[in-house]
């Protein structure tokens, strides 16, 4: 009884905490240890000692940072240097070739250079000669045009197709009695031409090489144009020659005065002959240069 009572009084055996914890660990997955948070990147800690100027320069230059522009410049400089090296090498080769050439070769080279120089000089002289010919021909052409224009003016004055002005005289014949005839006026024209008259105009009619005078009752006809007294002559020429030619003894003035006409001659520095004639094309005459 006592033993049974001791068993009954003895407490029941239970699992210890170590065994239960071991059983739970078998049932649960393994624990993963938590990672510690990584520190955020921040500014590098400053060195305790300050860098020197040389160290900063080395740090800035190395490692090198090559840009596209620097690469292009480097390639160009390389090409330039290579071209200069090739040129120097070629010059050195030519110089060495000349140094090693024979005397006969050097003489031949000099002869070729002299021949080339002579050809260039001949070509230069030929071009200069052509230039001078062109200049002289252009000058001659300009002079010919100038002379042609001047000749045209002179012929126009003689033909009466252009107006003229210059020194000369004005002769006025007063004929109150109607005794002046066509032949007297024609004699006056002949005297004036012989004295060097270059342009003559009578009462608005231009006198030319083919001018003719006719009597028309109490008046006179000039190339078919009727003119009346007083007869006024405008003459261009040297006044010192024209006036004495009219006043010579037995000349035009004395002849007209015998016919009871009054003649007045006046010199002038400017006489204008502005009566014009139309240029008439000859029916039969042609230039011999055609």
Please count the helices (runs of H) and the strands (runs of E) in the chain.
8, 8
The pLDDT assigned to 114 comes to 85
This prediction has a pTM of 0.51
Most confident of 3-17, 48-62, 130-144, 194-208: 194-208
Distances (CA, A) of 81 to 77, 230, 263: 6, 104, 104
Q: How far is CA 80 from the centre of its chain?
A: 40
> How far is the C-alpha of 202 from the C-alpha of 251, rounded, in Å?
19
Confidence of residue 95 (pLDDT cuts 50, 70, 90): low
Confidence of residue 183 (pLDDT cuts 50, 70, 90): very high
236 burial type by CB count under 10 A (0-12 exposed, 13-18 middle, 19+ buried): buried
User: Pseudo-torsion of CA 257, 260, 261, 264, nearest 10°?
Assistant: 50
pLDDT at residue 48 tops 50: no
74 burial type by CB count under 10 A (0-12 exposed, 13-18 middle, 19+ buried): exposed
- The per-residue pLDDT of the chain, averaged, comes to 79
Confidence of residue 278 (pLDDT cuts 50, 70, 90): confident
The pLDDT assigned to 99 comes to 65
* Among candidate residues 243, 242, 164, the one with its CA nearest the CA of residue 207: 164
Contact yes or no for 275/204 (Cβ under 8 A): yes
Question: What residues have CB less than 8 Å from 241, skipping those under 6 apart?
Answer: 195, 196
Q: In the chain, what is the straight-line distance between the N-terminal and C-terminal CA atoms, in Å? A: 186
Distances (CA, A) of 39 to 20, 33, 35, 36, 44: 40, 18, 12, 9, 13
Confidence of residue 13 (pLDDT cuts 50, 70, 90): very low
Q: Which two tokens stand for residue 189?
A: 């024209």
Beta-carbon count within 10 A of 59 CB: 10
The pLDDT assigned to 237 comes to 94
Lowest-confidence segment of 76-80, 163-167, 272-276 by average pLDDT: 76-80
């Amino acid at each position: 009884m006592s033993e049974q009572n001791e068993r009954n009084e003895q407490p029941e055996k239970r699992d210890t905490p170590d065994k239960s914890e071991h059983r739970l660990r078998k049932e649960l997955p393994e624990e993963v240890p938590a990672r510690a948070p990584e520190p955020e990147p921040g500014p590098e800690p400053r060195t305790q000692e300050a860098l020197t100027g040389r160290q900063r320069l080395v740090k800035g230059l190395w490692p090198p940072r090559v840009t596209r522009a620097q690469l292009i410049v480097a390639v160009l400089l390389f090409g330039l240097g290579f071209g200069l090296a090739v040129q120097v090498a070629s010059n050195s080769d030519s110089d060495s070739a000349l140094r090693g050439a024979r005397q006969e070769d050097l003489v031949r080279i000099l002869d070729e250079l002299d021949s080339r120089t002579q050809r260039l000089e001949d070509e230069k002289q030929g071009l200069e000669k052509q230039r001078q010919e062109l200049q002289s021909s252009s000058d001659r052409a300009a002079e010919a045009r100038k002379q042609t224009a001047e000749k045209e003016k002179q012929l126009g004055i003689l033909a009466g197709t252009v107006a003229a002005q210059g020194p000369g005289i004005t002769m006025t014949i007063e004929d109150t009695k109607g005794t002046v005839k066509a032949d007297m006026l024609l004699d006056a024209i002949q005297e004036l031409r012989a004295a060097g008259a270059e342009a003559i105009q009578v009462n608005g009619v231009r006198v030319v090489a083919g001018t003719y005078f006719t009597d028309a009752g109490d008046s006179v006809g000039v190339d078919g144009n009727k003119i009346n007294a007083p007869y006024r002559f405008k003459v261009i020429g040297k006044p010192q020659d024209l006036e004495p030619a009219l006043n010579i003894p037995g000349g035009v003035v004395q002849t007209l005065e015998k016919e009871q006409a009054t003649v007045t001659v006046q010199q002038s520095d400017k006489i204008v002959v502005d009566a014009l004639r139309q240029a008439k094309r000859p029916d039969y005459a042609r230039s011999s240069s055609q």
